[in-house]
Amino acid sequence: MGSRSRCAVSTVWTSQPSQSDRGNRRVTAVASGSRSRRGAGDRRLAPLTPLLRTAMSPPGRARVPEAARPAYLAARRELLPPDSPLVVVVRNDDEAHRLADDLGGWLRGGQLRVLAARGALPLERGLPEHEESAARLEALSLLAGAPGVVLVAPLAALVQRTLAPEQLAHGRLALHAGQRASQRQLLGGLVAGGYEPVVEVSGVGEFANRGGIIDAWPPGTDDPIRLELFGDEVESIRSFDAMTQGSRRRLDRITLLPASEFLPTGGFAALSDQLPDALSGELSDQLREDIARIEQGDVAEAAETWAALLTAGPATDHLPAAAHLALTDPDELAAIATELDAQAATRLAALVDSRELPPGWPAPYAAMETLRSLEVRADERLDEQAGEEAGFRDAPVVPGRAERIGAWLIELAGAGRRLVVTTDQASRIGELLEEAGGAVAPVAELVEAPPPGGIGIVHGSLTGGFAHEPSGLLVLSDHELFGSVRIRRLTPSKRVVTRDLIGKLSPGDAVVHVDHGIARYVGMTQREYGGSVREYLQLDFAGDDKIFLPADQIGRITRYAGGPAPALSKLGGTEWERTKRRVRRAVDDLARELLEIYAARESAPGFAFSPDSTWQRELEEAFPYTETPDQARTIEEVKADMLRRRPMDRLVCGDVGYGKTEVALRAAFKAVQDGKQVAVLVPTTVLAQQHRFTFERRLAPFPVRVEMLSRFVPRKRQQEIVASLSEGSVDVVIGTHRILSRDIRFADLGLLVVDEEQRFGVSHKERIKAFRREVDVLTLSATPIPRTLHLSLVGIRDLSVIETPPEARLPIQTRIAEDDDGLVRDAINRELDRGGQAFFVHNRVDTIEGAAERVRRLVPRARVAIGHGQMAEGMLERVMLDFADGRFDVLVCTTIIESGLDIPNVNTIVISRADTFGLAQLYQLRGRVGRSDRRAYAYLLHRRGTPLSLVARKRLHAIFSASDLGAGYQIALSDLEIRGAGNILGAEQHGHMAAVGFELYTRLLAEAVDRLRGHRPMPEPAPVRLDLPGSAYLPDAYIGDSGAKLEIYRRMAALRTPADAEALRGELVDRFGPVPGPVEGLFTAVAVRLAAEEAGVPEVRAEDGRVTFKWPRFDRGQVVNALQVAGLRPAAGSNQVRIPVAPGRDPVDVALRGLAALRRAEGAA
């Protein structure tokens, strides 16, 4: 394979004669600047809308294919008054997002929003998604305040109840710097607006209050905002970074929208007075608990149950009178309304029958009634079949193989059409046209419509193309050219993830003290000695031993990670030192072995691949997502390996869905372009099928032959593929261990990709090891590893870690609930209604048949399969393959789906008895869904009659909601990382990790690597013992959360320069307000510690009347001389020096002066 470079052209119309098989044709192209990724309102197709406007009929019922609707609606928008909103009602969320994504390329400007439906089922209990409601409220507020806004909404979103328009308007909190507003008023406004109080703001709809500082994250803002008050005045407004909590920029003003859709019109406190008389006497204990919580402002999990009583009406109440309303597929909307009402009625009846709700409880919505009101005021209707002819047709599809595209496009233009190709493979289309005799340069944005017979190629794809007969316009997308479907580019979740596990220590957690061993963290306590207050961490050891660790020495401990709860160490014994010596010897042996392997590979001959070609760049530009920083770095590392003249052996670690397959695909394409073959080895037939689909879809525009080998490929077909491999006509083969068979001969293998090597047997691993000596090998692992291990292996193992989750991943909506037939039925039905599939996890093989029968009874239309580990291997593989191919709707299974499955069409998982699973296990199970552009749902069910406490539910929700990645997520991930580390280093090393904890293990490994490579590791400064006057701690009144305190103490202990200390002080002032005296005492202690470390003084005491420096041994003459030169009067003893402090002088100042003198003397020496 080869490629040609393409020259840039100027931004003018050009026309060149070209030859085709039909004779001379004139092909016109627009040139433009650099390519940019498209977002809503990118205008790249807007110059085409005048062609459509001129032929448009007055609004009515028009026949418009789905793919043409974005263009039609953009043209309609231009015919409306500038201030008039355009509201488009569609069938479901998926269609709404597709339409909006495409519509953005046609609009000339203005605001474009999707009003999505809330993900909860009607009347469902579960903690609400703040981001979900926030996005809805922002969209509804734009209807009232943004001229010419375009709103796309599925019917279900408009049917759902929400705030009244006047509540939304009056609930806005508009603030500007210098405004008079008391803290009490502001906090009251946030609570009344549905904001949730938290310790630290990390997501939309939250607020935190610390002294004179209020943090909040309102809907519609990219960053949270910080209000700093001085008395009753808003002194400043700043945006801040939710990850670092540091301020970003000053703002003059801000408007805070309400954060919840569930705000009673009469206020929270009077909810019981607002209940109808018929209901107030028949409330269950659960409903009475709800009322008590709601009257305190905590709607929490009761929101959907109480929606009809907490809200004024449907979202349609917000549609302005001037809005232009377009209904799509009206007959189908009516069927959807009927189904929505039936679903709500069934659910309500079940809850009344079970006495969870009283008779007469209001329905959550009235879908058909809402639709009828929409039909009355609709301005136009768009339909696929019925209605007035609007001149739109489906686009033709390219006949034959991709190589025919160029000639076919020239033929279409030659018939007098205005041809526009919008594609993610723009450069490739340009090359195909050139090969067919045309000459067209791709553009990022059209300047004007092409003339009849002209061709324009625009970067960026659409869901589909269309033809417009009146204007002769023909728009083609990748769907017509390559059969590929554009993947939605999603909006990142506005939620941050932190990985500071020390900051998440809870009483009872195991910790590792570097000097004393494994202990149990009990908590923090403040103690007073001689009038000075300090804070300590209580650590319990074996045999009722305990120590109180000064908080400023928190760097001496790490959170234990390494397996089950470990045995506690005994204080004062030698066992801990013996354990550390044993582990140190083991890591020395491991480091030596890894270094020998690395050195041998560095000297082995290999093939150096060529630098990136035009085709390579085109393939990468067509990637429908933005690469995460980790993914982009990994791709560059792999490419750099391939350019070197020695065999690559790189391991790429990252969770499922973090982009490893794309890394492998780009490497494979690079190898194929140099005439090399690629083998992709996977552990299961299901993975082979999935990889084959991905490779074929992404490589469709290029002349690359992809084949698959597994036991389910017919024998005759296998023989044909094997023959083609030996002839060299197959470029990429994807398969199970079948491709390691002795009958497989490659014509010129250049790259082996191994997915999940740890899942192969010993003999297969030996065969893989043989490949490593000959060809480039790229190994992928879905088990993440810790960054600390990654860093300790730098220089001895080519290792790339992708730990950043994809930005464009819709958060998985996670529900914690009692097991309920109605909930299971509705959850599965909702998934089936949108053409998806579901997992039902039941982790007991002896009763799994009964679980499957239950699903069949609840959802009779579902095609149900069963999968578990005790089935014959071939039968299990066949079930999995059939499910992946869509032959079943629901897979009732055990935890065998925990790893190795990537089925984008499965976006609902119901986990029975979720309370019996481990955190890491639940985290991985939940990760089986949410792999596409659809909203995913995870239901974690526990037994009826044994409800979890509200605290437990909130904790589980915080752990498992992808929009709220909290401490439990981090702990689950750290457990998985330990498993990943064991995969890399071996079972024996896993035992050593468990003995000392992971953090200490990796520190010892890093030291061993440095030692063996001849590097002198930077010695860690010995801990300095300080005894200074005055209190030094973080008062509860300043930082009330123990986790935040631990984090600040850890960061203080890690400070190494005065500049870093000053930066941290500035951050504390920014986040928590002016620094109080005890915190100043901490910074004073940091200053003395840093000075003592530089001067080599291990102990400093400063008290009224004297300062004392202590050493185990020291050069008395040199120390005394240095202090005397500084004007001090030292008195030296055998291991210490005392410096008198004159009355009225600060002993700490004297200590710092003396330490500075010793540092200068040390430097001079």
Q: How far, in Å, CA of 382 to CA of 1081, rounded?
A: 71
Look up the domain containing 896 and give its range. Answer: 813-961
Output 16 or 704, whichever has higher pLDDT: 704
The answer, yes or no, to whether residue 540 has pLDDT greater than 50, is: yes
Same domain, 641 and 768: yes
- pLDDT of 789-813, one tens digit each? 666 676 667 888 887 766 555 667 8
Same domain, 368 and 402: no
In a domain, 286, yes or no: no
Distance CA 456, CA 425 (A): 13
**With pLDDT > 70 as the criterion, what percentage of the chain qualifies?**
86
908 and 940 part of one domain? yes
Q: Which pLDDT band, with edges at 50, 70 and 90, does 387 fall under?
A: confident
Q: Quick check: 776 and 752 in contact, CB under 8 A?
A: yes
Q: What is the pLDDT of residue 523?
A: 94
CATH number at residue 19: 3.40.50.11140
Question: In 3D, which of 700, 757, 760 has the Cα closest to residue 732?
Answer: 700
pLDDT digits (tens, 9 = 90+) for 184-235: 999 999 988 989 898 889 889 999 998 889 999 999 899 999 999 999 999 9
How far apart are the two ends of the chain, measured CA to CA in Å?
66
The whole-angstrom separation of Cα 690 and Cα 713 is: 14
Region 565-593: mean pLDDT is 90
E strands in 361-462? 380-383, 388-389, 392-394, 418-423, 455-459
Q: What is the pLDDT of residue 355?
A: 86
Lowest mean pLDDT among 713-722, 914-923, 1130-1139: 914-923
- pLDDT higher for 958 or 752? 752
| Of 44-53, 66-75, 894-903, the least confident | 894-903
Q: Residue 1097 — very low, low, confident or very high, per pLDDT cuts 50/70/90?
A: very high
Q: For the chain, give the percent of residues with pLDDT over 90.
A: 51
Could you tell me the sign of the dihedral formed by the alpha carbons of 1136, 1139, 1140, 1145, in that order?
negative
Report the pLDDT value the prediction gives residue 962, as an integer from 0 to 100.
Answer: 40
- Looking at the structure, do residues 126 and 237 belong to the same domain, yes or no? no
Inform me whether the pLDDT recorded for 503 exceeds 50. Answer: yes
**What is the structure's pLDDT at 956?**
56
- Do 849 and 951 fall into the same domain? yes
CA 500 to CA 762: how far, in whole Å? Answer: 38
Tell whether 774 and 830 lie within a shared domain: no
Residues 956 and 1063 in one domain: no
The answer as to whether 997 is a domain residue is: no
* Strand extents, DSSP E, 646-738: 649-654, 677-681, 706-709, 732-735
What is the domain count for the chain? Answer: 6
**CB pairs under 8 A, 24+ apart, for 1123-1129?**
1123/1154, 1123/1157, 1123/1158, 1125/1157, 1125/1161, 1126/1153, 1126/1154, 1126/1156, 1126/1157, 1128/1153, 1128/1154, 1128/1157
Q: Provide φ and ψ at 1159, rounded to 5°.
A: -65, -40
Evaluate whether 794 touches 1006 at the Cβ level (below 8 Å): no
Check which CATH number belongs to the domain holding 195 and give it: 3.30.2060.10
Over range 864-876, report the average pLDDT: 88
Is the CB of residue 1148 less than 8 Å from the CB of residue 1029?
A: yes
- Are 777 and 833 members of one domain? no
Residue 564 has pLDDT above 90, yes or no: no
Q: Is the pLDDT of residue 661 over 80?
A: yes
With bands split at pLDDT 50, 70 and 90, how would you rate the model's confidence at 1141?
Answer: very high
Mean pLDDT score across all residues of the chain: 85
DSSP secondary structure code for residue 493 in this structure? P
Q: Determine the pLDDT at residue 974.
A: 60
- 948 domain-assigned: yes
**416 in a domain, yes or no?**
yes
pLDDT at 286 over 60: yes
Going by C-alpha positions, the residue among 973, 813, 838, 941 that lies closest to residue 893 is 838
Using the 3D structure, point to which of 482, 501, 531 is the last residue of a domain: 482
What integer pLDDT is reported at residue 966 of this predicted model?
Answer: 38
Distance in angstroms (rounded) separating the CA atoms of residues 1076 and 1059 = 20
What pLDDT is recorded for position 225?
Answer: 97
CA distances to 728, 751, 1114 from 736, rounded to whole Å, are: 20, 16, 67
The CA-CA-CA angle for residues 9, 11, 13, to 5°, reads 95
Higher pLDDT, 952 or 1014: 1014
Cβ neighbours, 10 Å, residue 550 = 21
Same domain, 75 and 107: yes
What stretches of 908-1014 show up as alpha helix (H) in DSSP? 919-926, 950-960, 967-985, 987-996, 998-1012
Q: Which of 584-598, 872-886, 1027-1041 has the highest mean pLDDT?
A: 1027-1041
Q: What is the mean pLDDT of residues 383-403?
A: 84
Residue 611: half-sphere exposure toward Cβ, Cα within 13 Å: 1
Q: Is residue 446 part of a domain?
A: yes
Which residue from 28, 26, 32 is spatially nearest to 9, judged by alpha carbons? 32
- DSSP letter at 1153 equals H
The pLDDT of residue 467: 96
pLDDT in the model for residue 807: 59
- The predicted-structure confidence for 155-178, as pLDDT tens digits, reads as follows 999 999 999 999 999 989 999 999
Q: Mean of the pLDDT values across residues 501-508?
A: 71
Among 43, 80, 78, smallest CA distance to 448 is for 43
Given 389, 416, 444, the domain boundary residue is: 389
**Strands ordered across the beta sheet of 213-216:** 196-197, 206-210, 213-216, 225-230, 233-240, 247-251
Task: Using the 3D structure, point to which of 218, 238, 256 is the last residue of a domain.
Answer: 256
User: Which residues face 458 on adjacent strands?
Assistant: 422, 443
1144 and 1045 belong to one structural domain: yes
Q: What's the pLDDT score for residue 575?
A: 92
Kindly state whether residues 443 and 381 are assigned to the same domain.
no
Confidence label for 490 from pLDDT (cuts 50, 70 and 90): very low
Higher pLDDT, 864 or 1002: 864
251 and 325 fall within a common domain: no
Most confident of 204-208, 264-268, 848-852: 848-852
